[in-house]
Amino acid sequence: MTDPSGTALALDAITKTFDGFRALDAAHVSVRRGEVHALLGENGAGKSSLMNVAAGLYAPDSGRILLDGTEVTIDGPLDARTHGIGMVHQHYKLVKPFNAIENILLSDPGERYGAAIDALTARVREVADELGFELDVTKPVGTLSIAEQQRVEILKVLVGGAWILILDEPTAVLTDAEGARLLETVRALAKGGHSVVLVTHKLNEAIDYCDRITVMRGGRTVDTVEAKGISQSDLTTMIVGADVHEQRAPSQSIGAPVLQVAGLRAARGDGHIAVRDANFEVRSGEIYGIAGVGGNGQTELSDALSGLTRSLAGIVTLGGTTDITDASAEERRENGLAAIPADRHSKALSGTLSVADNFAVGGVLRGRFGSWLRVRRRELEQAAGEAVEAFDVQGVRSLKQRAALLSGGNAQKLVIAREFSGSPRLIVAHSPARGLDLRASAAVHERLRSARDAGAGVLLISEDLDEILLLCDRIGVMTRGQIVAEFDAPFDRQSVGEAMIGHG
């Protein structure tokens, strides 16, 4: 009973409620055979929830799921697999000490290990070759790069017989080149008859690589449109319900240096020297951007400056006179440093603690909210409530709610609320808008600008050149742990881009 329109998967009027919160409200989407279908929307719009229903992870409260026009119930992830639906999640579900074959085998153990592993190895190699995946299937998955791990996940789904593939923000963790390569692979899969759902909030991906686009907002489906001929601003309007357009606003007054870095050397956890001889300074009232291709020492620079790792050599001076080269994170913060790390869930928030606690820990460390003997909870919660309001942190149903329940953008706003509460002199922000939707990233950028206008120095480390060009007053390009070029505004995108790759 094949649907005449060629619809492979249709989700119809799906409603799903979590503890009274309506994550999906009669949402619908239909995916044709052989198409790449983008699912766009802000964080919390319901994209992932809807796809989790299709993948059998969530049981919908109501609504219908149709495969090839026939209504089915999907009874868990294994059942979705027998229906030919496979999902690659944002956070990979891989056993790190196992190799690719063993991970794939784990999702369908078969009868005899020995026999199964030989057949599976051949099969995985065949599919990998078909897709042009370079992958050592005998290496432990934990030693593979993020892009390679993603390939293992995709192979797992395809070898499992999926003909409907759901990819949840697959390019968020990849470099531009890796992302483009993945999207080419996705197109090839669609050409071979697979249906692919691409959950994303990158507009250009949706327009350039997809056939049709479904936009979601607030748990509802806004519309499904053809990708051909639609403009980014039309999509933006559909996604946020209004047009968000950020503009450059250069600094009006730049003062004395607040951060001076001379000859800084810092290592990665495994001993690899990632920052070698970095020299630059950040002045009060400016946003100094560090541009560069990912993996050129940005994370290590951010960790070394915020005091998470020790510097091996060099001198770091804060506020012109204070040597903080060997200072702990506590001492750096006492001297007016604030940090917004890229990995906000592991380095900036404690997910199991409350929103109020995560906000207030900075204040408590500065001696606010009571003495050593007593933390004044009521005062603390009141301050947290005011900050949540002032920084527009949404999705806070209670200040006692766990911080992990906040969406990416709101979690970042909470981090910023805490970091800015001590009126810092220097802000080290590493990819502060990574993974955020348009509106949230515009809000984050606005906060950085207003901190700058209030006289703080801002160090913006970002792999997103657009973000750097939009926000910064000066740019340093980092390659192999060194600042290899500096640019003053107005910037020439071409020459900054060349500096990023030219010194390899």
Partner 1 sequence: MADETAGMAGPPKAHGLHRFRPRLEMRQTTSGLRTAAMIAAGLAVGLGLSALILVASGVRPGDLVNEFIVQIFASPKNISAVLVQAAPMIIVGLSASIAFKARFWNIGIEGQMIFGAIGATLVATFDIGPEGLRLPLMALAAALGGIAWIALPAVLKLRLGVNEIISTLLLNYVALNFLLHLLYGPWQDPVSAFPHSEQFEETERLAALGWQSLNASLIVALALTVLVTVALTASRVGYLLNFVHTNATMARAVGVPVVLLTLAAALGSGALSGLAGFTISAGIEYRMTQSFFIGYGFSGILIAFLARNNPIGATIVALFVAVLMVAGQSLQVFYQIPFAMVQLIQAIIVICVAASDFFIRHRVQWLTG
Smallest separation (angstroms) from partner 1 to the CB of 225: 27
Closest distance of CB 41 from partner 1, Å? 20
Binders in 33-62 for partner 1, by CB under 8 A = 58-59
How many whole angstroms separate alpha carbon 251 and alpha carbon 449?
8
Closer Cβ to partner 1, 100 or 203, answer by number: 100
311 close to 265: Cβ distance less than 8 angstroms: yes
Report the site for partner 1 in 361-400 (rule: CB under 8 A): 361-362, 364-365, 370-375
Binding mask 105-124 for partner 1 (x = CB under 8 A): ---x-x---------x--x-
Q: Does the protein bind partner 1 through residue 347 (CB under 8 A)?
A: yes
By CB under 8 A, tell whether 192 contacts partner 1: yes
Rounded Cα gap, residues 362 and 350, in angstroms: 13
Distance, in Å, from the CA atom of 487 to the CA atom of 141, rounded to the nearest integer, reads 40
CB of 223 to partner 1, least distance (A): 27
Question: Which residues, including other chains, have CB under 8 Å from residue 147's CB and lie 6 or more apart?
Answer: 174, 175, 178, 182
Strand 21-32 and strand 164-168: pairing?
Answer: unpaired
CA 32, chain centre distance (Å):
28
Residue 265 or 345: the one with the smaller Cβ distance to partner 1 is 345
Residue ranges in 279-298 that form contacts with partner 1 under rule CB under 8 A: none
Give the helix/strand (H/E) hosting 64.
Answer: strand 62-67
Q: Which residue, 234 or 334, has its beta carbon nearer to partner 1?
A: 334
Is 149 strand, coil or helix?
A: helix
Bridge pairing between strands 337-340 and 426-430: parallel
Applying CB under 8 A, the span of 141-149, 188-196, 246-254, 434-442 interacting with partner 1 comes to 188-196
Interface with partner 1, residue 352, by CB under 8 A: yes
The nearest distance, CB 232 to partner 1, in angstroms, is 33
Nearer to partner 1 among residue 56 and residue 476 (C-beta): 56
Whole-number minimum distance, CB 358 to partner 1, in Å? 9
The minimum distance between CB 100 and partner 1, in angstroms, equals 15
Gap between the Cα atoms of 349 and 35, Å rounded? 39
Strand order in the sheet with 257-267: 273-283, 257-267, 311-318, 322-323
Amino acid identity, residue 36?
Answer: V
Phi-psi region of 368 (alpha: psi -120 to 50; beta: other; left: phi over 0): beta
Contact 41, 29 (CB under 8 A): no
Footprint of partner 1 on 413-432 (CB under 8 A): 418
Stretch that binds partner 1, among 138-146, 189-197, 250-258, 384-392 (CB under 8 A): 189-197
Binding segment toward partner 1, per CB under 8 A, in 66-74, 146-154, 200-208, 471-479 = 66-74
Q: CB of residue 81 vs partner 1: minimum separation in angstroms?
A: 8
Counting residues that bind partner 1 (by CB under 8 A) gives 64
Tell me the chain's radius of gyration from C-alpha atoms: 24
- Residue 252 CB neighbour total at 10 angstroms: 8
* Shortest CB 365 distance to partner 1, Å: 5
Residue 216 burial (CB count, 10 A) = 26
Amino acid occupying residue 87: M
Among residues 13, 72, 117, 313, which is the contact residue for partner 1, using CB under 8 A?
A: 72
Binding mask 315-344 for partner 1 (x = CB under 8 A): -------------xxx-xxx----x-x---
Instruction: Please pick, from the candidates 402, 464, 484, 503, the single residue that binds partner 1 as defined by CB under 8 A.
Output: 402
Minimum distance, C-beta of residue 208 to partner 1, in the bound complex (Å): 24
Residues 6 or more apart in contact with residue 14 via CB below 8 angstroms: 24, 26, 27, 28, 50, 53, 60, 62, 63, 64, 65
Q: What are the residues facing 281 on neighbouring strands? A: 260
CB of 416 to partner 1, least distance (A): 13
| Distance, CA of 292 to CA of 251 (rounded, Å) | 22
Q: Does 94 contact partner 1 by CB under 8 A? A: no
Give 250 or 422: the residue with its C-beta nearer to partner 1. Answer: 422
**Two tokens at 180?**
């483009």
At residue 254, the 3 state secondary structure works out as coil
| 346 counts as binding partner 1 under rule CB under 8 A | yes
Kindly tell me the burial class for residue 260, based on how many C-beta atoms sit within 10 Å of its own C-beta (0-12, 13-18, 19 or more).
middle
* Residue 184 backbone dihedrals phi, psi, to 5 degrees: -60, -45
81 sits near partner 1 (criterion: CB under 8 A): yes
CB of 273 to partner 1, least distance (A): 21
User: Shortest gap between Cβ of 249 and partner 1 (angstroms)?
Assistant: 29
Q: Does 187 bind partner 1 (CB under 8 A)?
A: no
Give the nearer residue to partner 1 in terms of CB position, either 418 or 447: 418
3-class SS of residue 140: strand
Q: Which residues contribute to the site for partner 1 (CB under 8 A)? A: 18-19, 21, 58-59, 67-68, 70, 72-73, 75-76, 79, 81-84, 108, 110, 120, 123, 127, 158-161, 163, 192-194, 306-308, 328-330, 332-334, 339, 341, 346-353, 357, 361-362, 364-365, 370-375, 401-402, 405, 418
